A and B are shown apart, each in its own frame.
Chain A
Amino acid sequence: MGQGRLGTAMETGARDGLLRRLREVVGEQYAFADPYEIRLYQYDASPETALPDIVVIPGSAPEVADVVRLCAQAGAPITARSGASSLAGGTVPVHGGVVITFPRMDRILEIDVDNLRAVVEPGVVNLALSHALKPYGYYYVPDPSSQGACTIGGNVATNAGGPHTLIYGVTVNHVTGLEVALPSGDLVQVGSQKAAETTGYDLTGLLVGSEGTMAIVTKIWVRIQPLPPVQKTLMAVYPDVESASNAVSAIVRTGILPAAIEMMDKLSIQAIEAASHAGYPLDAGAVLLLEVDAIPELAEELGQRMAQVCRENGATEVRIAKNDAERQALWKGRKGAFSAMGRLSPDFYVMDGVVPRTKLPETLAKIDAISVRTGYKICNVFHAGDGNLHPLVLFDAFKAGQYEAVLTIGDEILKLCADAGGSVTGEHGIGLEKRENIRYIFSDDDLEVMQRVRQVFDPHGLMNPGKLFPTDGLEPSPSVSAPSPARRQPMPAGQGEDLWV
């Protein structure tokens, strides 16, 4: 207990008792507390780590409900972890407790083309759903870059976006209903299954993006839509990010809203080319990737119009993908961009700021100035169409002080996004990483209201504690007593000494 067992929070006796009960629910092999094995659930795709006490791999919704109820009874924090591709530390169990993971719940339960719905379990991989829909001529729209590994459950938790959400909207626009497990052990259904509209409170909208702080999703009704008849994909090359940014504004002014407008700067292009040979020119200052979805009669014309606007606004080269293989190559580069940074640097820290589109050139110039001042390389890969920036700061976690320095840089960048009238997250979620930065957007009063809403679902602050909210004074109010004082542990050094669940 205490400082000796940083990261894990449960007393051995309480842990073993809970483990025994969990094993009765999911079976011996799917719940474990082995000190070696739990080390494999301390990380996600962010630089953060923290050890859980117990890992559970349930196989069905009723099992999840039982697991959540038992954890709540034992006063154990509960963190859901699915693809664990979170870039914001959303699945890292900072307060220890129980990690619930979903690789066994990866079934597509129903595909109902006529009603434009699919029903899935939370562990279904985003891309696997679109692959399954393809024979029907349909797909699931939100396409985060990690779509080959991230799951629909995780997408719901973070309200994930992706390049093609520019005209079609993010996860919340494509989820119509949810079945969730509450700490009480109840399985509850919110939203609508297949009807177009829902009545009363939009609880689906509330839960999407709640990052596991209210309930654990066990079933998801998603909207599906027909594959676009034709997709025209263009790559436009610019001497610098400023001219590319201006081109984006010009494109939007034409009134043709592309399905996606992506931008990559020089450093990103180099990493991407090393990784996937997407065909981006290595000497370009910036590359725009544009895509329009249209019926065949229109696609060619729209493609040409886009190309023309790009050229009029300073593009030195415009290339239109001639076939699906070329289109795939262009996208493969963009979608593998974050991971491709592994080629430039052992570690990177990715941010997810949003700015009004008109502020793009100014913001990018400021980020560049930060890079010059601090000496850390910063790559920019982002959804230019909706002003969602992903600056990546490159560093080496094995070198003392670098991570701390990078966190400061990240904070500065998010502050300038907020000051420009934007936000500190577009699609990755607040998670662990940005819980302090949320203050740049919301006042104490705003956060207090959010916290009260959360308490309706999670009165004892057990659901993914330590995420989403700043650490001081805004965790569950003192009037709420947690069932077991045993798990109240001070956070380890460096995480804020005053953090309580």
Chain B
Amino acid sequence: MLDFKRQLSTHGVPTPVADIDMDLVRDCIHCGLCLPKCPTFRALHHEGDSPRGRMWQIKEASLGLVSFDDPRFQTHIYQCFNCRACETACPSGVQFGPVMEMARAKTPPQNRRDRLVRAVLLNGLLPHPRRLRIAGRLYRTARAIRLPELLRRSGAWKVMPLGKFAAFPPVGDTSPRQTPLAAVTPAAGERRGRVGLLTGCIQDEMFHGSNRRTVLALAKNGYDVVVPEERVCCGALASHAGEAKTAERLAAGTLDAFTRLNLDAVIVNAAGCGSNMKEYELQLRHDNQRREAGGAFAGRVKDASEFLVDRGLRPPTGHIRARVAYQDPCHLVHGQKIHQQPRQALKMIPGLELVEIVESDWCCGSAGVYNLTHPEIAEEALSWKVKHIIDSGAEIIASANPGCILQIGMGLQRAGKDIPVVHVMDLLGWAYGDETQRPPVVRRAMA
């Protein structure tokens, strides 16, 4: 067995495999600056589970020195949160996320749990609006009949699949029936433009209220808000997990649905979705009809906080007198480089005191479907997060992605802490006058 350099000098440089952009891979100069920012390196201590190590493995696999299907390659590649903290740390500009997605697409995972999650969730449920609606109604019915309390009291959650998520659900909808969002919500006050809202898949079934408050915030800021008639899923979870075909199909559908509507901007309130949609040019690189449109479309995609703050947020008048900490979703801070706008939006709420959490830009372990496929490592990352939140003294946590809100909310409840985890748009919406679903802490802070 030869080392890398000697292999190349002895046998020449092999032709890289197809479907991997070797220029992107070689952007990594293995300087190692990413290692201390990587949650899986911190948890597992192995170079193979560091960003540099993963780039190295992808490089060797692309050159045929190791196999993409090697179980050890799969282990390290799928053990990655894909939180992209390494991208923020990288001075060479390595696009780790896209490279990781290309590598995952080369080698579907072989272990049972991973395959199950993919079959059921990524391919079986999320892309299908009808099935998703049924699942959503079941979920909300379970909450309406107080199943979570039953699970908690009986301890059944500990042995049930997904039990911890069922027993410690987030602030969200509890009525089985939902009132759909209006196709067009007219702007309030002076009209500033016309925007679309991606309601999302999980977001709309579990956090319909957050969507409603996002619409409210946009309308209060002078925007007509359009919601596409047919529910669209942007394909983020599939893409981040390396389900390239599903991801590409969903990206095409999303692009078409919004393009028809003639909008100034497409607003997204789920960080993972926004990050994915801003990379549609890459997602649709094999789609000759849509590749260019993908680039133009990506330019119009905006995170809700990013859009509102950059355009000048109209100050809300409702007071929320509480210490609030903002938890950066990875796909917002690292994936979209949005750090300040959500904080600025929160600071404009009268009475709100913004505090910082140590390592607020570290992944909570949710990481798309990661907490389902790799629960042990996800739990470790969550334990760091819960500790830092408790130490911060925050009474409310604001974030901007359904996965993080679910995961951290579950972690805090399990730790016995009554610290609600909500969306930035929830707080903004409440401050703009929405009175629904306010958790007790918020009600008290607004009294």
| Contacts from A to B (Cβ < 8 Å) | 5-8, 30, 34-37, 39-45, 47-51, 57, 83-85, 101, 103-104, 125, 127-128, 146, 148-150, 274-276, 336-343, 346-348, 397-398, 400, 403, 492-494
Q: For residue A104, which residues in chain B have a CB less than 8 angstroms away from its CB?
A: 45
Q: Provided the pairs A44-B30, A101-B47 are in contact, do residues A39 and B60 lie with their beta carbons within 8 angstroms?
A: yes
How far does the Cβ of B267 sit from chain A's closest Cβ, in whole Å? 27
Contact of B3 with A339 in the complex, beta carbons under 8 Å: no
Proximity bits, B53-70, A CB within 8 Å = 1, else 0: 100110010000110001
- The CA-CA distance from A487 to B407 in the complex, in Å, is 51
- The CA-CA distance from A36 to B47 in the complex, in Å, is 12
Q: For residue B48, which residues in chain A have a CB less than 8 angstroms away from its CB?
A: 37, 40
Tell me what chain A mostly uses at the interface: helix, strand, loop, or mixed: loop
Contact of B72 with A494 in the complex, beta carbons under 8 Å: no
Closest chain A residue to B36, Cβ basis: A125
Contact of A146 with B32 in the complex, beta carbons under 8 Å: yes
How far does the Cβ of B296 sit from chain A's closest Cβ, in whole Å? 24
Q: For residue B215, which residues in chain A have a CB less than 8 angstroms away from its CB?
A: none
Contact of A40 with B36 in the complex, beta carbons under 8 Å: no
7 A-B pairs within 8 Å (CB atoms) are namely: A7-B6, A40-B53, A47-B5, A49-B4, A337-B91, A343-B93, A493-B10
Asked whether B8 is an interface residue with its Cβ less than 8 Å from the other chain, the reply is yes
Asked whether B27 is an interface residue with its Cβ less than 8 Å from the other chain, the reply is yes
Q: For residue B45, which residues in chain A have a CB less than 8 angstroms away from its CB?
A: 30, 57, 103-104
10 new A-B contacts, CB < 8 A, other than A339-B33, A342-B28, A397-B5, are A7-B3, A36-B70, A40-B46, A48-B5, A125-B36, A148-B33, A274-B93, A340-B91, A342-B29, A346-B26
Asked whether B18 is an interface residue with its Cβ less than 8 Å from the other chain, the reply is no
Contact of A149 with B72 in the complex, beta carbons under 8 Å: no
Q: Provided the pairs A47-B5, A398-B13 are in contact, do residues A149 and B93 lie with their beta carbons within 8 angstroms?
A: no
Q: For residue A348, which residues in chain B have a CB less than 8 angstroms away from its CB?
A: 29
Q: For residue A150, which residues in chain B have a CB less than 8 angstroms away from its CB?
A: 32
Contact of B28 with A40 in the complex, beta carbons under 8 Å: no
Q: Provided the pairs A39-B66, A148-B89, A275-B92 are in contact, do residues A83 and B6 lie with their beta carbons within 8 angstroms?
A: no
Asked whether B218 is an interface residue with its Cβ less than 8 Å from the other chain, the reply is no
Closest chain B residue to A43, Cβ basis: B30
How many B residues, CB 8 Å from partner?
A: 44
Contact of B6 with A340 in the complex, beta carbons under 8 Å: no
Q: For residue A397, which residues in chain B have a CB less than 8 angstroms away from its CB?
A: 5, 8
Name the contact of B2 in the complex, choosing from A6, A146, A276, A338 (C-beta under 8 A).
Answer: A6
Closest chain A residue to B5, Cβ basis: A49
Q: For residue A7, which residues in chain B have a CB less than 8 angstroms away from its CB?
A: 1-3, 6
- The CA-CA distance from A415 to B85 in the complex, in Å, is 41
Contact of A34 with B72 in the complex, beta carbons under 8 Å: yes
Contact of A342 with B93 in the complex, beta carbons under 8 Å: yes
Contact of B36 with A276 in the complex, beta carbons under 8 Å: no
How far does the Cβ of A432 sit from chain B's closest Cβ, in whole Å? 11
Q: For residue A30, which residues in chain B have a CB less than 8 angstroms away from its CB?
A: 45
Name the contact of B35 in the complex, choosing from A83, A276, A340 (C-beta under 8 A).
Answer: A83
How far does the Cβ of B99 sit from chain A's closest Cβ, in whole Å? 13
Contact of A398 with B2 in the complex, beta carbons under 8 Å: no
Contact of B28 with A148 in the complex, beta carbons under 8 Å: no
Name the contact of A338 in the complex, choosing from B26, B28, B31, B73 (C-beta under 8 A).
Answer: B31
